[in-house]
């Protein structure tokens, strides 16, 4: 018989991370209250949804 090197099953091997420069959604932008931003990575196709947090003070009756 002897010794042999075998491949690990896929569940033990993480996928190669995406290194595309536009993988993550843009930062430091204002999303209007009640809206969401849907960003799709052009490299791997991962979809990220970011919710608005800009109206949190208005929801609580605060004056801006």
- Comparing CA positions, the residue from 60, 39, 64 lying closest to residue 51 is 39
pLDDT in tens, 33-57: 888 999 999 998 999 999 887 555 5
Q: Where are the domains of the chain?
A: 18-64
Report if pTM > 0.75. no
pLDDT at residue 63 tops 70: no
* Closest alpha carbon to 29 in 40, 21, 37: 37
Task: Name the percent of the chain lying above pLDDT 70.
Answer: 78
């Amino acid at each position: 018989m002897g010794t042999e090197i075998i491949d690990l099953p896929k569940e033990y091997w993480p996928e190669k991370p995406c290194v595309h420069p536009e993988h993550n959604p843009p930062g430091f932008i204002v999303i209007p209250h009640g809206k969401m931003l849907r960003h799709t990575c052009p490299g791997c196709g991962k979809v990220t949804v970011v919710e608005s947090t800009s109206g949190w003070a208005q929801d609580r009756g605060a004056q801006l």
